Chains A and B, each alone.
Chain A
Amino acid sequence: MGRKMAEDGILIKFVNVEKTYQIGEIEVPALRAINLIIHKGEYVAIMGPSGSGKSTMMNLIGCLDTVSTGEYWLAGENVSELTDNELAHIRNRRIGFVFQTFNLLPRANAFRNVELPLIYAGVGPGIRKERAIEALKNVGLGDRINHKPAELSGGQRQRVAIARALINNPSLILADEPTGNLDSATGEEILQIFDKLHSAGNTMVVVTHEESVAGRAARVIRLFDGQVVSDTYNHVHAQTTME
């Protein structure tokens, strides 16, 4: 099979993906025989009990990790064949990450955190400043630019993380339990931002425990023990299961 495989509208394609972690002598299967297609512009929630492989799947989608066997195609490219630098480039330009624990640099203020992806994109300081402040304003933190993470509330921190995830205008937004560490009112604010991003045409993949969060998505994929056990469309769509 070639490296490029153009298929209209398909952003993410898993073909018999397995992911096994090696802990000393023991092999821990985290994902087993996953076949999955996500189209551009979809809003997908991934659910499942703790340890079912949700984060592992997110890390694979986000090119932070590579499959053990099988193939992962992202926008027509076979990710297993990409070099480290190409993976870094994809993470930088095409993917925006939002984590449960925010993953902000504790010693850097909001502005410095948000400009990070631009540094690695080779953008000069003047434009960086402009765009970082713009991005912070867009998430309602125009007055918190010089605050360090410790001086911000949980919701504000997650909004800094979202501003950072969006700064390079990625087309794919990945969020691993983005509201897990937030109270429900603050979580709601974050979900509203996600709704807007989805309306703007971004592809959203959100890992969550909460049915209320999953309810915002058009499609819910449920994992159990490293396997997809259901793949359903909310509202108008009928239930389908991936073969």
Chain B
Amino acid sequence: MKAFILDVFEAAKIAGRALRSNKIRSFLATLGIVIGVMTVVLMITIIAGLNMSFQRQLAAIGSGTLYVDRYPWIFDDDFFSYRNRPRISMKEYLAISRYCTKAKAVTPYSDTMRPVGFKSEVLSGVYIVGTTDAYLETSDVMPEVGRFISATDANANRDVVVIGTTVAEKLFKERNPIGQMVRISGHEFRVIGVLEKQGTMFGQSLDSQAIIPLGSLMKYFGRHRDVTIIVKAADPKQLDELKDELTGVLRRVRKLGPADKDNFAINEQGQLMSMYTQLTSGVYSAGIIIGGISLLVGGIGIMNIMLVSVTERTQEIGIRKALGAKKSQIMRQFLIESALICLIGGTIGVGLAWGGGKIINQWLPAVMPISVAIASTMFAALVGIFFGIFPAAKAARLDPIVALRKE
């Protein structure tokens, strides 16, 4: 074992010297590997970054929560089959809150985009969310100052509003917004609270919103609108049972016959997750195919360079054999040389991917997993060994006499 390690060590030193004495060729030989490793690692870096931020954002939707909507988030049929569905309205909301036993909290939700003004300041494009006090339980929101909509606010359709941090900053600057009157499309609302900062979800700011009682939303901005009913499960593990129960309640309230199809949709986070996985797995396979092809091309390049190298160094091989080098030792020397080229190429590729990730990170989240960096460098070395086998075997098989006669 010790002798073997020594052998490998010697072979690595010989290989290192051979590479240094032919720098340009070694560099060209390794280019394909550099590109291959860079592609794969960069691809994985981007996807890993997206995954991380997507999962963080998805957590906001809540995994133990169902969303009763008119349409599914992801259409699995053509649009026309959904066209004649009735709106989800307060009727369904009332039925669910009355009959559903497996829900911890139920809240209706509807939104519209309106300008919000305070004195001379106006902020356009604010998401006006209409809901009830139960929204605190079904969603991931919290007032930072002041309070949230109360049950009384909701039942009495009071004109009160809880604003997001962006709205507070833009309209009030340093001043305290609590108790001030803001205008939402001209209707006066009293600010009762400011939400905690929430960041963005799928590229949209969650802080440019204002929450008012659903009744007020309907009163000023129209009753005939789609409502989403958010249902939080009492037990997140019993999401499927909750779904069955909801389906039953909704079919009853809509008086659907046994032959009728559901004319509503029950959405959940998992759908988005599976769509996302589908999407990224496509990108993944593309990355692996591109990377694989460049590694293949790179490997063939290495094989060619090694074959040239073996031919050029025929005499050297003859001398080594005449001095007592075994076939296995010659084989090892060339295998290690080719692995070393690829290892260096892989390291450069990882380095470039790391730099590329840093640049891309300014627009897209990109995180390079260290395990991927190590694994791809090792894989590059394996590619080197694999494509080095043929040239190394050719070197090892050389007849010392023939090799020595060659000048």
Contact = CB atoms under 8 A, between A and B. Distances in A.
Interface of A: 59, 62, 64-65, 84-85, 88-89, 91-93, 97, 99, 101, 103-105, 107-108, 116-117, 119-122, 124, 164, 168
A107 B322 CA distance: 18
Give the interface centre of B318, B321, B327 by most chain A CB atoms within 10 Å: B321
Question: Which of A88, A91, A97 neighbours the largest number of chain B CB atoms within 10 Å of its CB?
Answer: A88
Interface stretch (B3-11, B67-75, B79-87, B175-183): B3-11
Nearest to A104: B319
Given A64-B322, A91-B324, A93-B324, A119 B10 contact: yes
Contacts of B319: 103-105, 116
Contacts of B329: 120
18 contacts: A59-B401, A64-B321, A64-B404, A65-B399, A88-B326, A89-B326, A91-B324, A92-B323, A92-B324, A97-B322, A97-B323, A99-B404, A105-B316, A107-B21, A116-B320, A117-B324, A122-B3, A164-B323
B323 A120 contact: yes
B52 to A, nearest CB: 48
A46 B325 CA distance: 27
B407 interface: yes
A122 B11 CA distance: 12
A64 B400 contact: yes
Contacts of B326: 84-85, 88-89, 120
A14 to B, nearest CB: 18
10 tightest Cβ-Cβ pairs between the two chains A and B? A92-B324, A120-B324, A88-B326, A91-B324, A117-B323, A120-B325, A64-B400, A122-B3, A103-B319, A65-B401
A124 B5 CA distance: 11
Interface string B7-44: 10010000001000100000000000000000000000
Contacts of A103: 315, 318-319, 322, 404
B319 to A, nearest CB: 5
A116 B329 CA distance: 12
A198 B123 CA distance: 105
A65 B404 CA distance: 12
Contacts of A59: 401
A175 to B, nearest CB: 13
B7 A122 contact: yes
A124 B316 contact: no
Interface string B312-351: 0001101111111111110000000000000000000000
A207 B323 CA distance: 19
Contacts of A97: 322-323
A121 B324 contact: yes
Nearest to B3: A122
B330 to A, nearest CB: 10
B331 to A, nearest CB: 12
Contacts of A107: 17, 21
Nearest to B327: A84
B407 A101 contact: yes
A85 B327 contact: yes
Nearest to B328: A85
Contacts of A104: 319
Contacts of A108: 17
Given A103-B315, A107-B21, A119-B10, A88 B401 contact: no
Given A91-B322, A92-B323, A103-B315, 15 more contacts: A64-B321, A64-B322, A64-B404, A65-B401, A84-B327, A85-B328, A88-B325, A89-B326, A91-B324, A101-B407, A116-B320, A121-B324, A122-B3, A164-B323, A168-B324
A168 B322 CA distance: 13
Nearest to A117: B323
A93 B323 CA distance: 9
A66 to B, nearest CB: 10
A86 B318 CA distance: 17
Nearest to A170: B324
A180 to B, nearest CB: 14
Nearest to B396: A84
Nearest to A90: B324
Nearest to B402: A65
A92 B322 CA distance: 8
Q: Please indicate which of the listed interface residues B17, B318, B320, B324 has the most CB atoms of chain A within 10 Å of its own CB.
A: B324
B18 to A, nearest CB: 8
A85 B321 CA distance: 11
Contacts of B325: 88, 92, 120
Nearest to A64: B400
B171 to A, nearest CB: 76
A235 to B, nearest CB: 33
A126 to B, nearest CB: 12
A130 B395 CA distance: 30
Nearest to B325: A120
A88 B325 CA distance: 6
Nearest to A97: B322
A182 to B, nearest CB: 18
Interface string B251-268: 000000000000000000
A88 B3 contact: no
